[in-house]
Amino acid sequence: MPISENFHSIYKEDFIVDYFDCQPNGQIKVVDLCKLMQITSSNHAVLGGISYWDLQKTQQAWVLNRFRLHIDKMPTWQEHITIQTWIQSLDGVRSIRNFQVLLDDKVIASASSLWVTINTNRRRPETMKINHDHFIKYQDKKVFEQDFTKFSSLTQDIEIYQGTVKYSDLDMLNHVTNTKYLEWIVNALHHKDMVHKDIKVIDMVFQKELLFRDLYTVVKNRDLNTHYVIKDNNQNINFQCLIQ
């Protein structure tokens, strides 16, 4: 798609927290907050001519590799929030994109994400083939000073539940969409009760895709009870998450 006349390198979008996006206590579900961030980044990419359809012209696509989210306050039903996003870096294969969630002009949550361009036929990383020079890269506009988390090895784990990838779990790349992994982890947090648990920090890494009808297991690190892992039937690690 051509670059929109409304394109700017920093993009903002307004949302009203919807009833169907809220959990029992009236706050937005953390999964749905992440979805709104990705809706914002997707719309920004469309305006800037680097969207899924633009990349598909050369058999490429963006996939999420890492995501860190810090929450100071969760928005609640009917509150008006603004999400702003910008690209911190884009080196051809990898891109860091940042987010801020604002309520009444105050930042209530921040996130940073690492995206990789892949060849959708070979399912391997590949240098981005379309031009992105019109995007200003805000190298100094970081939301976190520390690098993305390096996850420790999993020595002993506690199995929480097993599942099978369903059709509704898939996205346009025919693999499990990234927010679904977080949804499975949130369900693991509540596998015994409905007691509300405040989530303040989430660190995620997406390591290996899951496909239709794949079997998966959600486990918790026996030595670190904030560390959750999703494995496939061959014990390959697909996803890891630190949630506090």
155, pLDDT greater than 90: no
pLDDT at position 174 over 80: yes
Predicted local confidence at residue 95, as pLDDT: 98
Residues with Cβ within 8 Å of 127's Cβ and at least 6 positions away in sequence, in order, are 92, 93, 117
Judge contact between 212 and 174, C-beta under 8 A.
yes
Lowest mean pLDDT of 57-66, 144-153, 168-177, name the range: 144-153
The pLDDT of residue 228: 95
pTM: 0.95
Q: What is the pLDDT of residues 215-237, one digit of tens each?
A: 999 999 988 889 999 999 999 99
Least confident interval from 10-19, 111-120, 134-143, 224-233: 224-233
User: Is residue 169 packed enough to be buried (19+ CB in 10 Å), middle (13-18) or exposed (0-12)?
Assistant: buried
User: Cβ–Cβ contacts within 10 Å for residue 86, how many?
Assistant: 22
The mean pLDDT value of the chain amounts to 95
Q: Is the pLDDT of residue 177 over 90?
A: yes
Q: How confident is the model at residue 201 (pLDDT cuts 50, 70, 90)?
A: very high
Reported as a single tens digit per residue, the pLDDT across 62-106 is 999 999 999 999 999 999 999 999 999 999 899 999 999 999 999
Nearest to 218 by CA among 227, 208, 210, 228: 228
- For residue 137, pLDDT over 80 is answered with yes
At 193, the pLDDT band (50, 70, 90 cuts) reads confident
- Inter-axis angle of helices 30-47 and 178-189, nearest 10: 170
- Residue 4 DSSP symbol: P
- Is pLDDT of 196 > 80? no
- Cβ-proximal residues to 215 (8 Å cutoff; 6+ apart), any chain: 162, 163, 164, 165, 232, 233
Of 154, 181, 171, 141, give the one whose Cα is nearest residue 61. 171
